[in-house]
């Protein structure tokens, strides 16, 4: 079996419902254009506040996928 290399990218998902929903949306959106996603790591959570109320949740997610090098 050949050695593998993985690329890691950072995504930010947003949701009006929850951090979990924000993270899920980030991964599912990335999966539409990236192949072979392997791991998603939530690295930061924050909220958008308007007039003292939470209006959106944001999840910063690092996603790794297999890097395919063509020779």
Answer with the residue of higher pLDDT: 11 or 2. 11
Domains in the chain, number: 1
The reply to whether 71 falls in a domain is no
pLDDT at 1: 44
The domain spanning residue 11 has which CATH number?
Answer: 3.30.1660.10
Domain range for 16: 6-66
The reply to whether 61 falls in a domain is yes
**Percent of the chain with pLDDT strictly greater than 90:** 73
The reply to whether 1 falls in a domain is no
The reply to whether 36 falls in a domain is yes
The reply to whether 42 falls in a domain is yes
The predicted model scores a pTM of: 0.83
Instruction: Please write down the HEC assignment for all residues of 5-27.
Output: CEEEEEEEEEECCCHHHHHHHHH
The reply to whether 47 falls in a domain is yes
Burial class (CB in 10 A: 0-12, 13-18, 19+), 18: exposed
Write the pLDDT tens digit of every residue in 13-26: 999 999 999 999 99
Write the pLDDT tens digit of every residue in 23-52: 999 999 999 998 889 899 999 999 999 999
User: 21: which residues sit within 8 A by CB, 6+ positions away?
Assistant: 13, 15, 57
């Amino acid at each position: 079996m050949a050695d593998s290399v993985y690329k890691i990218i950072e995504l930010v998902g947003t949701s009006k419902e929850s951090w979990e929903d924000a993270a899920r949306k980030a991964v599912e959106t990335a999966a539409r254009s990236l192949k072979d996603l392997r791991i998603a790591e939530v690295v930061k959570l924050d909220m958008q506040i308007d007039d003292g109320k939470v209006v959106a949740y944001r999840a910063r997610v690092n996603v790794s996928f297999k890097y395919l090098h063509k020779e």
